[in-house]
Amino acid sequence: MTTNSRMQRRFAALKDENRAALVTFTTAGDPNYEHSLNTLLGLPGAGADVIELGMPFTDPMADGAAIQLGSQRALANGQNMVKTLQMVRELRKQDQDTPLVLMGYYNPIYRYGVDTFLKEAADAGVDGLIVVDLPPEHDDELCVPAAAVGIHFIRLATPTTDAKRLPGVLANTSGFLYYVSSTGVTGAAAPTPEKVQREVEVIRAHTDIPIGVGFGIRTPEQAARIAQFADGVVVGSALVDCIAGAQTPEAGTAAVLSLVSELSSAIRTAR
């Protein structure tokens, strides 16, 4: 893994600014390719520091209803891995600085072909992967090959990740560590910030890698509180809900970018 990647440069710059990153999640192709791409292209200007782009999958078992439905909308409108990688290429035509992470499940990558996927992802400008159903025991399948082509493998830690398990989680993690602040699926109610802060401090004693916190963060006020101690604040379901609740696809894009702007402003003044 390069020591001067786009991801590392972004977190180093934010550390100099003494603020957390706003990490946004939307699903590629939700509600359709055109409007999902418009949303993606607008995220950096609205204040997203790191972008997570979901790879739609028929059985997203770690996700709550909002993101499950987002995947269904995308798949129903023809989204596939080829189109998802094309969205990344389109972003890179106008933005060479914002790190982009593909997030999802191993099945679509496996079916696409790991070597082909990694080559095309690296060429397109993907900076990292979050693959929620590949534990450290299977690092040789995707994590190690991803690092070989310069793509970070971002691991998840949870409140149930104990001292015995943590070293394995951290071993090949790079870019940042995604701390899932609650057990259950995405979009679930968040625990108290004080409890999350204590848990993040325990992990920070074992690693220098940036730690992003997600699951259940929906409002600027919640984001600002998490930003006081985390290196990144991850918001996903609330953004996907903006798309689901909009009267038109154009209104969905506008709602997402408006909320991102509000979240960004809150995070920038949190410390």
Active-site residue list = 52, 63
- Which of 98, 154, 155, 153 has its CA nearest to residue 125? 98
CB 92 within 8 A of CB 121: no
- Give the whole-angstrom CA distance, residue 221 versus residue 216: 12
How far apart are the C-alpha atoms of 148 and 142, rounded to whole Å? Answer: 10
Report in angstroms the alpha-carbon separations of 85 from 4, 54, 88. 23, 11, 5
Between vectors from CA 44 to CA 211 and to CA 81, what angle results, nearest 5°?
Answer: 80
DSSP 154: P
SS3 at position 136? helix
Cα distance between residue 233 and residue 223, in whole Å = 6
Longest dimension (CA), the chain: 49
DSSP 225-255: HHHTT-SEEEE-HHHHHHHHT-SSHHHHHHH
Distance (Å, whole) CA 23 – CA 50: 5
- Rounded distance, CA 54 to CA 63, Å? 11
Tokens of 269: 């003044």
